[in-house]
Amino acid sequence: MFIQVLVGGLVLGSTYAMLALGYSLIYRASGYMNFAQPDLLMIGAFLGLMFFRDLGLPFIIVMLLVVISMFFVGTLMERTAFRTLVKKEAKNIYIVLATIAFSIILQNAAMLIWDSRQHGMPPVFQHTQSIQVGNAMIRPESIMAIVVSLSAMILLTLFLNKTKFGTAMRATAQNKIAANAMGINVWRTISVSYGIAAILAGIGGLIVAPTLGVSMNLGQQLGARSFAGAVVGGFGNMYGAMAGAVMIGLVETFVSAYIGSIYTGFVIFFLLIFVMIVRPNGLFNAKAYD
């Protein structure tokens, strides 16, 4: 049982990490929080369901189409809900409220395009049996979720630290005025940050769909806990977001398995408050791109 709970916690934590990374990336790039991030995960899950189940496309093609689609959605959101308000010098609270409005729009769009029912995602590996580890049987989809999320995190790290555009994004995050003075297109880098955050959310929805299913409430089920993970790790810290989100996922599954599922919310948010009191900057408070 321990191994199954551990793997389940890693799958859930990996999904939380994809959302938490998006929160941190947007916050570092723009200075604002994007509360539509969980519903971008839901849209990614629905797109994956449509491409995989309804159109019968290979899963690797499905993932590529989700990445392209979510990048478009993320950049569209930046140009409508963020850039326009910032250029009009709107108050910060209005910009945050705009992301909440975008969240509601995404939920209603999902209900209109698909429906409000719970959908089951077909197995990705239909002809592959579960893998036995000790006395536990591990689904291939669970291993895939961990591998895909870990790969996405590594690729994002390499992109930010090893590419010219990634350097521009880090410079924009540290000082927008100085970055603009050095010839960096600040608005383009912020737009790409929103696009990448949407991609992370979409992939998170795609990999968790075989386990949790797909519905218009999927993002809301995961949003608060992924945000807690980002805060516990250190909000705005990319590496802290990963660690904090995985920690929350493990705590949730172990508490549910060994104590009771009704206590998971209490334990997770008690941990959040405790960390905020003891370490207000999170467990890992180093700058995200240092």
- The HSE-up count of residue 212 (CA atoms within 13 Å, CB side) is 24
CATH of domain 2-278: 1.10.3470
Instruction: Quickly list H helices, the chain.
Output: 2-30, 37-49, 59-77, 83-87, 92-113, 140-162, 164-174, 176-181, 186-212, 218-233, 238-258, 264-278
For residue 56, is it left (φ>0), alpha (ψ between -120 and 50) or beta?
left
Which pLDDT tens digits describe the chain residue by residue (290 residues)? Answer: 788 888 888 888 888 888 888 888 888 777 778 888 999 999 999 999 999 988 989 989 999 999 999 999 999 988 887 888 888 877 888 888 888 898 999 999 999 988 888 888 888 777 666 676 667 677 878 888 888 888 888 888 888 788 888 788 777 777 777 878 878 888 888 888 899 999 999 999 998 888 888 988 888 888 888 888 888 888 777 788 888 888 998 999 999 888 888 888 889 999 889 988 988 888 876 554 44
Claim: this prediction has a pTM higher than 0.85: yes
